[in-house]
Amino acid sequence: MHTELYNEMAKSVIDGEVDNAKNLALRALVEDIEPLDAINKGFVIGINDVGEKFSSGQCFLPELVMAGEAMKAALTVLEPEMAKRGTERKVLGNVVLATIQGDIHDIGKTLVGIMLSSNGFRVYDMGVDAHIDVLMQKSEEVEADIIAVSALLTTTMINQRTLIEQLSKSGLREKVKVMVGGAPVTQDWADEIGADGYSEDAIGAVIVAKQILGH
């Protein structure tokens, strides 16, 4: 049932066709397809395909960005309809996402947000140069399961350590997992500072986030 339409949905994301993705989402509603099925059996298949190809070097950053835009266009149509029907997606966890204090690099962090939200996480993107106290406050406010922080400079990755230290001092560390990433960041650094997870790319971030929350 609807296999062809699901394939078209996946392809619209793979090809980064924003208008087509939106139109296919609208068509799903007209044909009375469950919005959740359209997301999981159609659009998510596409974004994960692009994410995997990006990880293995088979496609490049602009293609992943466009795929993310197409995915977002579909979700803006389908998510309000799900809320109306009371069939919201199962949320795997709340993630507070940011580029750490002192750092203004945005693209990698944004891609991680797209991949996490596409795969069932509720993401609160705090932008760039996010101060540690703001991240801690937000994590308490939304009862975050994960704080995920990116750094692109060796001078700012130190603040990933500071975040973990401040979480420990305030008693929040037991409540929230910390994921780190960014160009200079390695698994060794993550281990050294006591982070719960590390990934070098957006598709890996989804796998790690699921692992550390036991999904």
pLDDT digits (tens, 9 = 90+) for 103-148: 988 888 988 998 898 888 999 999 999 999 999 999 999 999 999 9
Q: 34 pLDDT exceeds 80?
A: yes
* Under 8 Å between Cβ of 29 and 77: yes
Looking at residue 94, what DSSP letter applies? Answer: E
pLDDT of residue 121: 94
Please give the average per-residue pLDDT across 4-25, as a whole number.
96
Q: 86 pLDDT exceeds 80?
A: no
Strand pairing report for 146-150 and 177-181: parallel
Q: How high does pLDDT run on average in the chain?
A: 93
* Under 8 Å between Cβ of 20 and 5: no
Give CA–CA dist 196/115, Å, rounded.
Answer: 19
Angle 101-107-16 from CA coordinates, rounded to 5°: 155
Distance between start and end Cα atoms, the chain: 28
Which residue ranges does the chain devote to CATH 3.40.50.280? 93-212
pLDDT of residue 84: 85
Which residue ranges does the chain devote to CATH 1.10.1240.10? 3-85
Give the percent of the chain with pLDDT over 90.
74
E strands in the chain: 93-99, 121-125, 146-150, 177-181, 197-198
Closest listed residue to residue 89, CA positions, set 42, 45, 39:
39
Per-residue pLDDT band at 8 (split at 50, 70, 90): very high
CATH of 93-212, one of 3.30.420.40, 3.40.50.280, 3.40.50.10540, 1.10.260.30: 3.40.50.280
pLDDT of residue 98: 97
Q: 51 pLDDT exceeds 90?
A: no
Q: Which two tokens stand for residue 92?
A: 């795997």
pLDDT of residue 130: 96
Q: Which two tokens stand for residue 34?
A: 């469950």
Q: Which two tokens stand for residue 168?
A: 């420990």
Please give the average per-residue pLDDT across 163-176, as a whole number.
95
* Under 8 Å between Cβ of 51 and 13: no
Give CA–CA dist 55/69, Å, rounded.
Answer: 18
Q: 150 pLDDT exceeds 90?
A: yes
**What is the largest distance, in Å, between two alpha-carbon atoms of the chain?**
54
Domain 3-85 has CATH 1.10.10.10: no
pTM, rounded to two decimals? 0.84
Per-residue pLDDT band at 205 (split at 50, 70, 90): very high
